[in-house]
Every structure is written in structure tokens, then in C-alpha cells.
Chain A
Amino acid sequence: MSKVNGGFAGKILRVDLSTGAIRCEDTVEKYGELLGGTGIGYQVLWDEVPPGTGALEPGNKIVFATGVLAGTGVPCNGRTAITTLFPTCWPRPLVGSGHMGGRFAAQLKYAGYDGIIIEGRADRPVWISIRDARVEIRDARHLWGSGIRRATLEISREMGNDSVVAAIGQAGENLVPMSVVMNSVSHSAGGIGAVMGSKNLKAIGVQGSGGVRIAGDKAEWERLIKFHLSILGGNNQHVVPSSPHPQSEYYNPGSRWVGMPGKRWGAADPPLEINGGLYDLNRIAFRSNSGAFFLGDGAWKYTVRGNGCTACPIRCHTILKVPAVSAKYGIREVAQNTCAGMVFGRSFFKNLPGGPQGETAIEACMVGMHLADDLGVWCNYGQLQRDLLKLYYEGTLKTKIGAEEYASISWDKYESGDPAFLLDILPRVAMRKGELGHALGLGTGGLLARWSIPEETWGKDRATNYWKFGHPKHHANEDDGQCGAIISTQYNRDPQCHSHTNFVRNGLPLAVQKKLAAEIWGSPDAVDAPGNYTPMNIHKAMRAKWSLVRKELHDSLGLCNWMGPWVASPLKERGYSGDDSLESKFFSLATGRQTSREELDLIGEKIFVLHRALTIRDMGDKEMRARHDLIPEWVYNDPAGTPVFTKGTIRMDREDMVRAMEMFYGVMGWDTGSGAPTAQAYARLGLRDVSRELESRNLVPEKK
């Protein structure tokens, strides 16, 4: 990459835990063409981790990497992508990335690093202390066995109150694949905990006193940031409020923009009435309340405030204070999280007194956050809880674990919806206690194999949400028809992509979405309403490509793909359009390297295709269409037998999905027969070396 004057911190830290060697590499020189984040992660795995390496072997590496825009004032940055061979990917570990927000990314940049590559294995528990240029591997034997909270507090005592600590809990230490690394109370990356544990790495603590230079004119930078703020919606870039407001033309009950004048942070001291106008930029932080969105209006009275990542005005990690749980369950009365992390506890139960938004449900969430975020247990987007529900209520579980163990578990609490059940079950998982704790901690793939349950049993049951390779769907056909389904086939875990769903679920009427779709993807036919699908067309394939490319771009720039892209806005005067070039405008100003939207998208595509190449190499198989891009059986069925392309069903048509995959491979420039990139596709993206390596392994499709 040509010289850049800003954005990058400049160095990548490389820590070899086997030898204790600590080195620095020049980010731009070595990895600049791949920006950062997953781009660097995939490159390191491609260059340095040979196929066949086990996820928990010393040869696996962990790449914590942020990006050019992390640590700046660009709204919705703050992300760290953590790339490694994923231990929950089944039947063999393949490349995957977990993503955490919080304050880690900014702090790492201020310390002078764009990323950290962790390699080898320490001979005893250690943690890494990073204070600007001073980096040390320190003894963590006194921290081993403690939860994330205690580990964080002890490290903060050693480093200082303003340090940011990313730590694993007991689950990671015990090499439970379903485990996380966590920073800033609640910001976790799934799948990473056990890989850190396998390296005897308890935590990374960071303090930084430096800054990120903005190459461009500061007044222009300020104008662009203010423009970005003006086109922000609520969480997930939902651009209309969830209930009517006189200032808004539209509203949509499904919108995550739930906070508006009239609502109240009831547990603030004193309680705080949200006031001002709906679109006031000094009120953006009130728009999101994950408590209220997921747990209902009853959560407002427990809301202390919104919290979230450095620099993000959308505070999606809601802090709740529920005094009753202190005496009832012996836990702290304050907890915070968002989305799947917030409902972790509730999701275990089939029935809860008062229903899924009642007081008991809220208490279950508090207990779940308290335990999971300290033990460092991962739910794999609710797959852990859905697996247990299916195993228990179908009677399978009773046949798989011993009678004595079965009798020792408080199933009465499970059935009656008593949150105290979590105090029993979650430590079992984190400590690998008993057959059940051990099996659940493996993740779905490992569990099914261990108990000789055919994968199809899960794949045909829509209630499991199971997709493939041990992982669930994530915004698939239930949100976005063929586009969502295509996206769910592309990764080795759930896809973690929100580019597509953030558009179709943005709350605008379909007619407005179609108008915007015509501008962005060339045709109004690029979008359907969720649950009211039409047959596949080329514009949907183009949108799937755009979604994946932007996902990788965001993950490599330090931006949040849970919020972006920002192609729609709440602004009626703009016809509700956002800005499709925002990322490249920020990138150009930050680095001083003028880069167009098309040029930056090409880099995003390159990163995505590098992930594809890594997957092909490590599978040793180019038949991606047949053996990687799989779609579970439940997608093609409807419980009520509703025909496809009928309003009210998310059922997909088998023939139509064949066409959808072919169109997608087509727009990617890949071989439609195998679904593998061609030599030309690699060459177009500057990946000739990758192509040659794969050709030597016979993993590039022949020219037709």
C-alpha cells in the first residue's frame, strides 16, 4: 500500500507465548492492502497456520485486529475482529472470526497497535500487559480459576483503573469450545475463549496514551462525522421509531428504535425522562434500549442507562438494575448486555411464569448475564439453549447421561421456569462437569457426534435454527429470503452479517425500500418484504454480494456491521436515503489515501475471497457448492404446509435456491459448478499467489 498519513496506529504486535518473544511489524507495509481486522486475520492464517492444524493446538494462532477507523470519532466504530481456527466448527476446525466491541479496539489503537498476533503456548498461565510501547508477558497463575470479573479487577489493580482487559473465564480455561473472551463487562467474542485457554493465556490488558492521526482536513472530518450522525437511526440502523411520533412520517413496531420522548430510564438516580425532539443529535443515545426491545416495556423501570462501545452514540448494551435478584439469587443487582447476551438466561426456558417479558424472564436474564459473562460461556446465538430444550423435551437427554447425573440436575426448576436452574446448569458447562456439561460445552457439532445423533435431526427441525457445521442461522431466510439464505451458507460459523438485514428490517415501508433498492442495487426487485418472497433474481444476488463485501469491510475497518451500512436514513428530506460511500469517504480522510467506494469494495471482496480460499485449502476440497454451501432441510418446509412465495411463509423453494446459488457464484465471478473462485477471480483481486498455492493442491476449478 502507498504511504498513508493517518488512520493506522502503525504496528502489529506479535507475541510468541512459547518463546516469550515479543516483536512489532509494520502494519501498512505488511498488511495494508487488507486494511485490518479480518483482513489481517485471514492473511496470518493463510501464511502461517498449515491446513490440518487443530483449533486448540499451539500451531493455531489468534489474531486480535481492529482497523483504520477504530479509536476515531467515526460513529459506530469500536470493533475488534478476532480470527482463529474455530473450535466449534464441525466436523473440522476452519477459519472463523469472533467480534467484540467495548473499549478494547480504541485502547489498542491508542497504545500504538492495529492488532495483536498470539502464537504458541505458554508453559504456565500468563496474561499480556500492554502499556504503550511497554509489553510484557506476566504470570497469571494467581488468576487461573477465577471468573472474568475477578480477573479484570485484579489486572486493573496492577495496570491502573483506566486499563481495558479482555479476559477468559473458567470455560475458556477448561477448553470448553463454547466459550468467549470478554472486555468491558459485556463485550464478548464467541469461540475464542478455549483457544486462548489452550495457549494458557488468561487475558490481555491494554492502556494507551497515544492517538490516531487524521490525515485529512479536520473541518472536513468534522462535517462528515456530523453528516453521519444525521443519517443514523436506532440500533441495527432501524430508521423509523417503534411507535408513532408526531415528527416521524412512519413507525414500525419491529424497529429497535424504541427510545423516544415519553420513555424513562427508571433506575437512573433520579429517574430520567427522555425529552427533546425525536431527531435531536443530542438525544441519539436514548434511541436504543435492548432491555425494552427484548424484554418489553417492563424493562424501562430497571434501566440505568445505555452503554456500549467507544465512540458509538448507539448504546446497545443496556445497563439494568433489578434489586430483587440480589436477595433472591445472591447476584449483583446491576448487569448489562445486548441481544443474545441479554436474553442468555431467558432462552433456556420453555415456560416462564409471566411469559417471556414478565418479571421472572427479566430475572432469568439477570442471572444469565451474571453467570455467563463471568464464567465466559458462549451461547452460539442461542444454539446452546435450543439444543438443551430439544434434547430434554424430546427425551433424548435422559438416554445419553447416567441416571445418577440426570437425577442430580434440578429439572423441576427447568420445567417450572425458575431462574435458579441457571445456577446449576451453567457452571456444569464451564467446568465440564458430568456428561451433560461436557457435551453441551462442545457446541452442537461436537455434541451430536459424541451422542451419535445424526446432524439431519437438527437440520430438519426449524425450531433448532440449526444451519450447518455446528452453527445456527443468523438473519437468513426468515429475514431476507434467498439473500439471507445465501449469506448463511458462506461462513464456517453463523455468518455474523447484518448488511442485508439492517436494510430489510429498517422499518421503512416496502415501497420506500424498493425505491432505495433501485438506486443502490439497480432494481426494486432486489428486496422483498420479510416473509413475503418472490422468486430469485440477479439483483438479489448482487445485494448478497454487496452485503458480504461490506461485512468484511466493516470487520476490517473497525466499524460495526451490527449498525452498518448506512444506505437508508431517517431523513424524509433525503427521501430516506443514506450514503453508500460513507466508508470510503471516512477511509480517504483518515488515511489521506483517496479511495473510491468501488476501490474500497474491491478490497472488501478480496478479504472475503481470501476467507473462501482459506476454507477451500483447509477443507482440501473445492466442491464448495456440494460440501460447504449447505442449506438445512427446514428451510424448504413450512410447518403449516404453506406454499413457497406466499405471504406469511419463510419457506424457500429448492429449485429456486439452486438458481440463487448459481446467480450468486455468477456475480462473484466464481465457477458455478463447484462454487469455488476461478484463477481469474483470484487474479482480479490481486490474489495470484493464493491462486497458485491452491492450484498446486488442485483446488482451483479448471477453465471451461
Chain B
Amino acid sequence: MGTEGKEELIPRAAAAAGFETTISRRKFLILTACAVNGLAALSIRGAWGADAPVIIIENAKGLILADPTRCVGCRRCELACTEFNDGRSQPSLARIKVDRNINFGPGGLTSPVMGGAWGNGVFIQDTCKQCPHPVPCETACPEGAIKADPVTGARVVDAVVCVGCRLCRKACPWDMISFDEESQKATKCFLCHGSPKCVEACPSGAIAYVPWLDLTREVPPRVSVLTVVPAEKAQSCLECHISK
């Protein structure tokens, strides 16, 4: 991907950000301005180099979509995710996260409206948005360990490349990156190579594997993120986002 010119990158980036029609470079930049403000503000022009990596990756083809009205809080999705993939029953490792919302809902005890079993009886499933460009976890990774799966487009952690720095965890606004303390590697939803175990395991049909849609615009962030962009990647951002 690294050899393409920046003019060719724009339509590709637009598609990766969820825009389906051809748009102008200017419009694209306006639309994504908010997302990249943090990057531009870093003022790291000095770090530019000729071989900087391009951080625009192919959009995912699908994602896991949750229906909270159906969720019964049984955690079979979390368990299917880790048992069938990792051979361990370990929800802290799961790439779908329900348990943290079961007691009081996503807002916890500080929320004015208490959700969950102790509140309004609604359970919310947290799923990976398979973010469009700029992909926060992928952008944050200093090793380039997070890539698009060639088949599903899922953003996946290459465990061979991952060094366990956990910067991706800090970058995800929805707190969807898990960390395996045993292997010291990050892990995230990889859509089970196109046949998600959680979807198959759900006893109430509360999650579905659907064509990709941009949930980053629909679901409010769960945590505030630490925007750390490796210098060489920031350069890549500026290739498109700042006029020379």
C-alpha cells in the first residue's frame, strides 16, 4: 500500500471511512477533520520521512450488531469467544463485552438512569465497531500489529508482531481491546474469520453478523482515550490532511 500517491489514497480513504460515493478531497478532509484534529495538533513535521507507513486500511466487510432488547445477560457470547478460540473460559479476554454492563448498565453507578439488573433491567452488549479510517487501535499501534483481515476486513491483532505495549487499549474509545496476561499480547474481535462464535452461541438471537455500517457515529464512546500516534504514522496522516 505504501507506494500509492496521495491523490489515489483519497477515494480509498473515503471508502475506508464509510463514504460510499466519490467525494472531493476537500469534502473528505472536512468530514474527517474532527477525528484527525488530535493528530494534526501534534506538530511533528520534523519526523517526516520518505518511507512512512500508510495507515489507511481496507474497510471491514461486516461487524457484530447487538440488540439490547433481546440480550438476557447470560454471557454465553463471552464464553464462546474465549473457549472456542482460546481453550479457556475467560470473559476478561472476550472480544464482546457484556458482563461489565450487567449490574448497572454502561453508565455504572454514576449514571442518572441506572441500567442493568439493578436498574431498568436492560443489558447492553459492547461490540467492536471495526472502525473506519482512522482506526484508533490500528493507528495507535507503534508496531503495525493491527491489520485488516484479508477476508473479512476485521481489524485483527497479529500476535507475532504485537509487543504487548497496550497502547491500542488506551486508544479505543469503546474499551474493546482485551489483553491476554498469559501471552502478554493484545487481542480484539476478529470476527472469527467470518463465522463469529458469539453470534452462533447467543440463546436469544441478540447479536448478528451484518454488513458493515458505521457504528462509530451511533454509539457514544465509553472511555476517554489517550491519543498517542507514533511519529511515522502521524506523518502519514499529514500526507492527506495538511496541504503543503
Interface on A for B, CB 8 Å cutoff? Answer: 71-73, 103, 106, 109-110, 149, 152-153, 156-157, 161-163, 184-185, 208-214, 218, 221-222, 225, 229, 265, 268-270, 272, 276, 280-286, 304-313, 315, 319, 321, 334, 336
B169 interface residue per 8 A CB criterion: no
**Is A282 in contact with B202, judged by CB distance below 8 angstroms?**
yes
Give min CB distance, B207 to chain A, whole Å.
9
Q: Which residues of B contact A315 (CB under 8 A)?
A: 72, 74
Q: Which residues of A contact B70 (CB under 8 A)?
A: 272, 305
- A506 to B88 alpha-carbon distance, docked (Å): 33
**Residue among B71, B93, B108, B117 with max Cβ neighbours from chain A (10 Å):** B117
**Is A73 in contact with B80, judged by CB distance below 8 angstroms?**
yes
Interface of A is mostly: mixed
A-B contact pairs, 26 of them (CB 8 A): A72-B83, A72-B89, A73-B79, A152-B118, A161-B103, A161-B108, A184-B117, A209-B181, A210-B90, A211-B82, A211-B92, A213-B87, A214-B89, A218-B86, A269-B122, A272-B70, A282-B203, A305-B70, A305-B122, A307-B117, A307-B121, A310-B74, A311-B74, A311-B79, A319-B121, A334-B121
Give min CB distance, B212 to chain A, whole Å.
22
**Is A313 in contact with B117, judged by CB distance below 8 angstroms?**
no
Give min CB distance, A220 to chain B, whole Å.
11
**Is B72 in contact with A305, judged by CB distance below 8 angstroms?**
yes
**Is B79 in contact with A162, judged by CB distance below 8 angstroms?**
no
**Is B109 in contact with A161, judged by CB distance below 8 angstroms?**
yes
Checking B76, B83, B119, B120 against A222 with a beta-carbon cut-off of 8 angstroms, the contacting residue is B83
Closest A residue by C-beta to B92: A209
B205 interface residue per 8 A CB criterion: yes
Tell me the residues in window 195-211 of chain B with beta carbons closer than 8 Å to chain A beta carbons: 200-205
Q: Which residues of A contact B83 (CB under 8 A)?
A: 72-73, 214, 218, 221-222, 225
Closest B residue by C-beta to A73: B79
Q: Which residues of B contact A225 (CB under 8 A)?
A: 83
- A196 to B175 alpha-carbon distance, docked (Å): 38
Interface on B for A, CB 8 Å cutoff? Answer: 69-76, 79-80, 82-93, 99-100, 102-104, 108-109, 117-123, 181, 200-205
With known contacts A110-B90, A210-B92, A305–B121 Cβ distance under 8 A: yes
Q: Which residues of A contact B108 (CB under 8 A)?
A: 161
- A156 to B90 alpha-carbon distance, docked (Å): 21
**Is B104 in contact with A156, judged by CB distance below 8 angstroms?**
yes
- A230 to B93 alpha-carbon distance, docked (Å): 27
Closest A residue by C-beta to B91: A110
Checking B87, B93, B118, B200 against A149 with a beta-carbon cut-off of 8 angstroms, the contacting residue is B118
With known contacts A268-B69, A334-B121, A214–B88 Cβ distance under 8 A: yes
- A156 to B82 alpha-carbon distance, docked (Å): 26
Q: Which residues of B contact A313 (CB under 8 A)?
A: 74, 76, 203
Closest B residue by C-beta to A217: B87
Q: Which 8 A-B pairs have the closest CB atoms?
A: A211-B90, A313-B203, A73-B79, A285-B204, A285-B203, A161-B108, A218-B87, A212-B89
Q: Which residues of A contact B119 (CB under 8 A)?
A: 334
**Is A305 in contact with B203, judged by CB distance below 8 angstroms?**
no
Q: Which residues of B contact A283 (CB under 8 A)?
A: 203-205
Checking B75, B93, B100 against A211 with a beta-carbon cut-off of 8 angstroms, the contacting residue is B93
Q: Which residues of A contact B120 (CB under 8 A)?
A: 334
**Residue among A213, A305, A307, A336 with max Cβ neighbours from chain B (10 Å):** A305
Q: Which residues of A contact B76 (CB under 8 A)?
A: 73, 311, 313
Checking A157, A284, A334 against B109 with a beta-carbon cut-off of 8 angstroms, the contacting residue is A157
**Is A212 in contact with B88, judged by CB distance below 8 angstroms?**
yes
Give min CB distance, B24 to chain A, whole Å.
40
Give min CB distance, A288 to chain B, whole Å.
10
Give min CB distance, B108 to chain A, whole Å.
4
Extra A-B contacts (19), CB below 8 Å, given A152-B118, A210-B90: A72-B79, A73-B89, A106-B91, A161-B103, A212-B90, A213-B87, A213-B88, A218-B85, A218-B86, A222-B83, A265-B69, A282-B203, A283-B204, A285-B72, A306-B72, A307-B117, A315-B72, A319-B121, A334-B119
- A171 to B204 alpha-carbon distance, docked (Å): 37
- A309 to B72 alpha-carbon distance, docked (Å): 10
**Residue among A156, A269, A282, A309 with max Cβ neighbours from chain B (10 Å):** A282
Closest A residue by C-beta to B85: A218
Give min CB distance, A352 to chain B, whole Å.
25
**Is B84 in contact with A218, judged by CB distance below 8 angstroms?**
yes
**Is B205 in contact with A282, judged by CB distance below 8 angstroms?**
yes
Checking B71, B80, B87, B90 against A305 with a beta-carbon cut-off of 8 angstroms, the contacting residue is B71
With known contacts A270-B69, A312-B74, A284–B89 Cβ distance under 8 A: no
With known contacts A71-B89, A214-B88, A269–B203 Cβ distance under 8 A: no
- A222 to B87 alpha-carbon distance, docked (Å): 9
Closest A residue by C-beta to B202: A282
Give min CB distance, B109 to chain A, whole Å.
6
- A286 to B70 alpha-carbon distance, docked (Å): 9
With known contacts A153-B109, A211-B82, A312-B74, A185–B203 Cβ distance under 8 A: no
Give min CB distance, B113 to chain A, whole Å.
12
Closest B residue by C-beta to A304: B121
- A283 to B201 alpha-carbon distance, docked (Å): 10
With known contacts A73-B89, A312-B74, A103–B79 Cβ distance under 8 A: no
Q: Which residues of A contact B100 (CB under 8 A)?
A: 161-162
With known contacts A110-B91, A305-B72, A162–B203 Cβ distance under 8 A: no
- A307 to B100 alpha-carbon distance, docked (Å): 15
**Residue among B74, B99, B181 with max Cβ neighbours from chain A (10 Å):** B74
Give min CB distance, B196 to chain A, whole Å.
12
**Is A311 in contact with B87, judged by CB distance below 8 angstroms?**
no
Q: Which residues of A contact B69 (CB under 8 A)?
A: 265, 268-270, 272, 305
Q: Which residues of B contact A269 (CB under 8 A)?
A: 69, 122
- A130 to B48 alpha-carbon distance, docked (Å): 50
Give min CB distance, A559 to chain B, whole Å.
14
Q: Which residues of A contact B75 (CB under 8 A)?
A: 106, 310-311
**Is A321 in contact with B121, judged by CB distance below 8 angstroms?**
yes
Closest A residue by C-beta to B94: A211
Q: Which residues of A contact B117 (CB under 8 A)?
A: 184-185, 307, 319, 336
**Residue among B75, B82, B103 with max Cβ neighbours from chain A (10 Å):** B103
Q: Which residues of A contact B203 (CB under 8 A)?
A: 229, 281-285, 313
**Is A308 in contact with B205, judged by CB distance below 8 angstroms?**
no
**Is A282 in contact with B88, judged by CB distance below 8 angstroms?**
no
Closest B residue by C-beta to A276: B205
Q: Which residues of B contact A73 (CB under 8 A)?
A: 76, 79-80, 83, 89, 201
Give min CB distance, A225 to chain B, whole Å.
8
Q: Which residues of A contact B72 (CB under 8 A)?
A: 285, 305-308, 315
Give min CB distance, B121 to chain A, whole Å.
4
Q: Which residues of B contact A312 (CB under 8 A)?
A: 74
Closest B residue by C-beta to A212: B89
Q: Which residues of A contact B201 (CB under 8 A)?
A: 73
Q: Which residues of B contact A304 (CB under 8 A)?
A: 121-122
Give min CB distance, B122 to chain A, whole Å.
8
Give min CB distance, A267 to chain B, whole Å.
8
**Is B121 in contact with A336, judged by CB distance below 8 angstroms?**
yes
Checking A149, A210, A307 against B73 with a beta-carbon cut-off of 8 angstroms, the contacting residue is A307
With known contacts A283-B204, A334-B120, A211–B74 Cβ distance under 8 A: no
Q: Which residues of B contact A265 (CB under 8 A)?
A: 69
Q: Which residues of A contact B109 (CB under 8 A)?
A: 153, 156-157, 161
Q: Which residues of B contact A281 (CB under 8 A)?
A: 203
**Is A103 in contact with B102, judged by CB distance below 8 angstroms?**
yes
- A306 to B74 alpha-carbon distance, docked (Å): 10
Give min CB distance, B78 to chain A, whole Å.
9
- A688 to B110 alpha-carbon distance, docked (Å): 57
Q: Which residues of B contact A157 (CB under 8 A)?
A: 109
Q: Which residues of A contact B204 (CB under 8 A)?
A: 282-286, 306
Give min CB distance, B47 to chain A, whole Å.
37
- A210 to B179 alpha-carbon distance, docked (Å): 11
Q: Which residues of B contact A152 (CB under 8 A)?
A: 118
Give min CB distance, B187 to chain A, whole Å.
13
